[in-house]
Amino acid sequence: MATHLTHWGVLDADSDGERLTAVRPWRADPEPTPLIENVASAQHHPARIDQPYVRRGWLEHGPGPGPRGSEEFVPVSWETALDLLAGELSRVYRDFGASAVYGGSYGWASAGRFHHAQSQVHRFLNCLGGYVSHRNSYSLGASTVLLPHILADMGTIMSRATTKSVLAEHSKLIVSFGGLSPKNVVVSPGGVSKHNGRGWIRQAQANGCRFVTIGPLRDDSPAEAQAEWIAARPGSDAALMLALAQVLDAEGLADNTFLDRYTVGYERFAAYVRGAEDGIVKDPEWAEPITGVAAARIRTLAREMAATRTLVTVSWSLQRARYGEQPLWLGVVLAAMLGQIGLPGGGFGHGYGSAGNVGLAVRVTSPPKLPQGRNGIDDFIPVARIADMLLNPGAPYEYDGRRRTYPDIRLVYWAGGNPFHHHQNLARLRTAFGRPDTVVVHDPFWSATARHADIVLPSTMTIERDDYGSGEGDRYLFPMPALTRPHAQARDDYWMFGELAERLGIGKEFTEGRTAQEWLRHLYDEWRERLRGRGYEVPDYETFWAGESIELPIESEEHVAFADFRADPQAHPLHTPSGRIEIFSETIAGFGYDDCPGHPVWLEPDEWLGSPRAARFPIQLVANQPRTKLHSQLDIGAHSQSTKIQGREPVRLHPDDAAARGLSAGDIVRIFNDRGSCLAGVEISDSVRPGVAQLSTGAWYDPDPADPSHCRHGNPNAVTEDRGTSRLSQGCTGQLALVEIERYTDPLPPLTVTGPPPVAHR
C-alpha cells in the first residue's frame, strides 16, 4: 500500500505494477471524497493516448490553418514526432519570433511540484526565447483584476483569509452570496490532505452561528449549515446587495467611524444608493422585482447583519458572469459598512465555498517547485480571451486601463489543461483553433483539446511517475513515488522537453544536466536549506522520500484577515492606491469604462431572467462545477460515469419547469439557444429555483460532425457566451446563459469521446 496525492485528496493504493488494484481514501482524512474512485478506472481506459500521433492533414501538407477536430490522426514513433516538432519550433521561432508562440497551457494539470505540466512547458519555451503568456484564470478573472484596486491581491485574499476555526468560534451570521458549496471545497490546486469543508460549518452551527445562502441552488450550502435559502434570480445579486446597503445607510446602521478611518469614497457610493445620481433610490422595493426577493426580507436581513458578528462571503461564481465585478465589489462594501473587517468572525470572505484552500493556517513558505526561468517577451492576454486572440490578430482590446493588441499566433503549445472545458462558445473556439499553423498538445487522454491538435504526445498520469506534492496552502508535503509503470508509450513532460531541448541545442539550459529524480532531490535540498536559514527544520531527502508525509512549518494556526490593518491603518496600509478600502476608486473611474465605473452599481446583464431575451429563452442555465470530478479531469472515470443518464451529463430542473415541458426524470433533452445546443439527461429537484436549470461543466465536448455547435455529451459551454465580464478585467462569463429546453425525440447519437479518434495508418 502507498499514499498518493491528487487535487481532490490523498489516496491509499495497491498496485500490481501495471495498474492500481485498489484505491481507498487516506485513512487520516476526516471527510474523504469519492472522486478518488476515478483514478484507477481511468488509467487504462480506451481514451488513454497510447503513442504519439500527428494529424493527417498536417503530416501530409505541413503547417498551416486546418480543419482541426475533424481529421484522422496518424500514429508515429517518438523519434518521428519529436523530430517533426523540433523542426516546427525552430521554424516558428526563426521566422516569426517568440511573440508568435502561445504557451498558455492553462488548467489544473496534475498534482505534483516537479512534473507540473505548465511549469515544464513554460521553462522549456523560456529556454527558446519566451512565449505569449496568459494572465488570471477562468475561475477568478474579474477578482484578480478588481480586488487589488479596492482591497488586496488574490494571493493575500486567499492565503490570509480568516481561518475557518476562527469563523467557527466567533461568527454569528454568515451570509454567503453564491453559497458554500460542499462539492467545491473537496478540491484544491495541488491537493487536499485533510478535508474539513463540513466540519467547521458543523462546529459554527453548534456555536450558534446562523447561515443564510443566497443563490439559485438550495444545496450550494451543506446540510450541516441548516441554512436559510434566499433564492434570488441568478445575475441579480448586485441589486440585492445595493438594497441591503441602502437599508444600512438609511437606518443609520452603517459604521461611519469605520468608514471614515478605513475607507475612501463612501459618500460617492452613498449618493448613488440614495438616488442622487439617477433619481432612483436603491431600496428593497426597487430590488424586489429585479431579484424576486421580498422587500421585507431584504430589509430584515440588513438589520440582522448589522446586529451581530457577520461574515459577508462571495463565491467565485458571482464574478464569472457579465459585470461580475459589481457583486464582488459590493460584498466588500457591505462588509465595510458593517465595520467588521479585521474582527474575528466578521468582515469579507471570497472563496470559502469555492475551493479547499481558503481559510487554512498560514504556512511559513511554499514547498519546492521547478523554476521556470525568465520569459524573453512581456506580451500576454487575459486567459479567457484566447479565441479572440486567435481569430483577431492585430485587433485592439482594453484591459485594466490599457489598450492592448492581440498578437499573431502561429504555434499553440498546450500541456496540462483543456481549454475545450474552460472556454465558452465551443464552436467559436473550434474555429479559432483552426487558425494557427500548428497546435501541440501533451495529454494522457484523448480530450477535446488533444483532438484539436496537430501533434499529440501522450503524457503520464501522476501515478506513473516520481514526484512530490502539496496542495496550495496545505500543511503536508507528500512523497509521490510512481505506483505503476506508464501506460503504453506514455512519457513524462520532462522527458519530452529534454528530448526536444537536445534537438534544439538548449539541452544544457533546460535540464541543467539533471535527471528527474536528481531534480527532486536538488529542489528539496535547496528548499530545506532556505527553511534552515529561517530557523525551521525538516527531514533530509532520504527520510522524507521513505516516509508517508511531512508537516510543513506553520506561521500561525489561526489568522484574522486584515487584523493588522484594522489595528493600525497607517503602519499596515493596504496595497491600494489610497492604502485604504476603496469604495470609490479614482483609478478605475479614470479608465472611463461604462461597464465598470468608479463605484459598484447595478448594470442589467443581457442574459438574465429579467431581460427581453428571456422571452425566447426562458430558462437561466447555471453552468457550475461538477460533483463527480474536478472540472473535466477523468470524466471517463467510474465515479464520474456513475451519474450520467444514458451516457449524458445530468441537468437539474425544478418540478414546475419539467412539468411545463412534459419532462420526466431520465429523459434526454436538448438544451439550446442561438449559439448552440447540447444533450443532457433530466434530473428533477426542488433544490433548484424555478426558471433555472443547472448543468455542470466537465462533460468532454463531443461535437456533432455536421454541427460543431451541438455537443452530444452535455457540455454547457456549447451555449455560453464568449464575452468578457467588462473592459476592466476581461474575465470569464461562463456561469450563466439563457436557454430553452425540449425533449429530444431523435435516435440518441453515439458518443465518440469515450474512445480514440479515427486513426489512419501510413
Name the residue with cell 494572465. Answer: 135
Contacts of residue 523, defined as CB under 8 A and 6 or more positions apart, other chains included, come to 113, 114, 368, 369, 370
| pTM for the model | 0.97
Q: Do residues 488 and 51 lie in contact, with contact meaning Cβ atoms separated by under 8 Å? A: yes
Q: In angstroms, rounded to a whole number, what is the distance separating the alpha carbons of residues 534 and 544?
A: 20
Domain assignment present for 316: yes
User: Are 208 and 350 in a shared domain?
Assistant: yes
User: Are 242 and 327 in a shared domain?
Assistant: yes
**Residues marked as catalytic:** 106, 108
Q: Do residues 186 and 358 lie in contact, with contact meaning Cβ atoms separated by under 8 Å? A: no
Q: What are phi and psi of 737, to 5 degrees?
A: -160, 145
User: Are 327 and 445 in a shared domain?
Assistant: no
Q: Do residues 425 and 724 lie in contact, with contact meaning Cβ atoms separated by under 8 Å? A: no
Domain assignment present for 142: no
Q: What kind and span of H or E run contains 61?
A: helix 56-61
Any idea what the CATH number is for the domain that residue 739 is in? 2.40.40.20
Angle at alpha carbon of residue 545, lines to 544 and 549, rounded to 5°: 55
CA count, 13 A, side-chain hemisphere, 361:
15
Looking at 547-700, list the stretches that DSSP marks H as alpha helix, in order from N- to C-terminal side.
563-567, 586-591, 638-641, 655-660
Ranges assigned E (strand) in 207-336: 210-214, 228-230, 263-264, 310-314
Looking at 96-163, list the stretches that DSSP marks H as alpha helix, in order from N- to C-terminal side.
117-128, 141-150, 154-159
User: Are 332 and 437 in a shared domain?
Assistant: no
User: Are 23 and 67 in a shared domain?
Assistant: yes
Q: In angstroms, rounded to a whole number, what is the distance separating the alpha carbons of residues 215 and 694?
A: 12
User: Are 238 and 335 in a shared domain?
Assistant: yes
- Of the candidates 635, 637, 662, 633, the one whose C-alpha atom is nearest the C-alpha of residue 649 is 635
Which value, to the nearest 10 degrees, does the dihedral of the CA atoms of residues 584, 590, 594, 598 take?
0
Domain that holds residue 630: 612-743
Q: What kind and span of H or E run contains 708?
A: strand 707-711
Domain assignment present for 759: no
Looking at 2-150, list the stretches that DSSP marks H as alpha helix, in order from N- to C-terminal side.
37-43, 56-61, 78-95, 117-128, 141-150
Any idea what the CATH number is for the domain that residue 253 is in? 3.40.228.10
CA count, 13 A, side-chain hemisphere, 289:
5
Domain assignment present for 180: yes
Report the pLDDT value the prediction gives residue 110, as an integer from 0 to 100.
Answer: 84
Joined grid coordinates for residue 132 = 505569449
User: Are 107 and 218 in a shared domain?
Assistant: no
Q: In angstroms, rounded to a whole number, what is the distance separating the alpha carbons of residues 484 and 329?
A: 48
Residue count of the chain: 762
Q: Do residues 188 and 152 lie in contact, with contact meaning Cβ atoms separated by under 8 Å? A: no
User: Are 292 and 380 in a shared domain?
Assistant: no
SS3 at position 448: helix
Domain tally, the chain: 3
Domain assignment present for 285: yes
Beta-bridge partners for 677: 672, 710
Domain assignment present for 654: yes
Beta-bridge partners for 703: 711
Q: In angstroms, rounded to a whole number, what is the distance separating the alpha carbons of residues 210 and 68?
A: 53
Report the pLDDT value the prediction gives residue 374, as an integer from 0 to 100.
Answer: 96
CA distances to 440, 521, 546 from 510, in Å:
19, 17, 28
User: Are 30 and 88 in a shared domain?
Assistant: yes
Report the pLDDT value the prediction gives residue 687, as an integer from 0 to 100.
Answer: 98
Q: Give the residue ranges of the chain where pLDDT is below 50.
A: none
Report the pLDDT value the prediction gives residue 714, as an integer from 0 to 100.
Answer: 98
User: Are 11 and 103 in a shared domain?
Assistant: yes
- Of the candidates 229, 220, 170, the one whose C-alpha atom is nearest the C-alpha of residue 197 is 220
Q: In angstroms, rounded to a whole number, what is the distance separating the alpha carbons of residues 333 and 330?
A: 5
Beta-bridge partners for 645: 648
Any idea what the CATH number is for the domain that residue 86 is in? 3.40.50.740
User: Are 577 and 689 in a shared domain?
Assistant: no
Which value, to the nearest 10 degrees, does the dihedral of the CA atoms of residues 10, 753, 139, 198 take?
-40
Q: In angstroms, rounded to a whole number, what is the distance separating the alpha carbons of residues 486 and 386?
A: 32
Tens digit of each residue's pLDDT (9 = 90 or more) over 234-245: 999 999 999 999
SS3 at position 443: strand
Query: For residue 542, with 0-12 CB atoms within 10 Å meaning exposed, 13-18 middle and 19 or more buried, which class applies?
Result: exposed
Radius of gyration of the chain (CA): 25
- Of the candidates 436, 723, 747, the one whose C-alpha atom is nearest the C-alpha of residue 607 is 723
Joined grid coordinates for residue 133 = 503568456
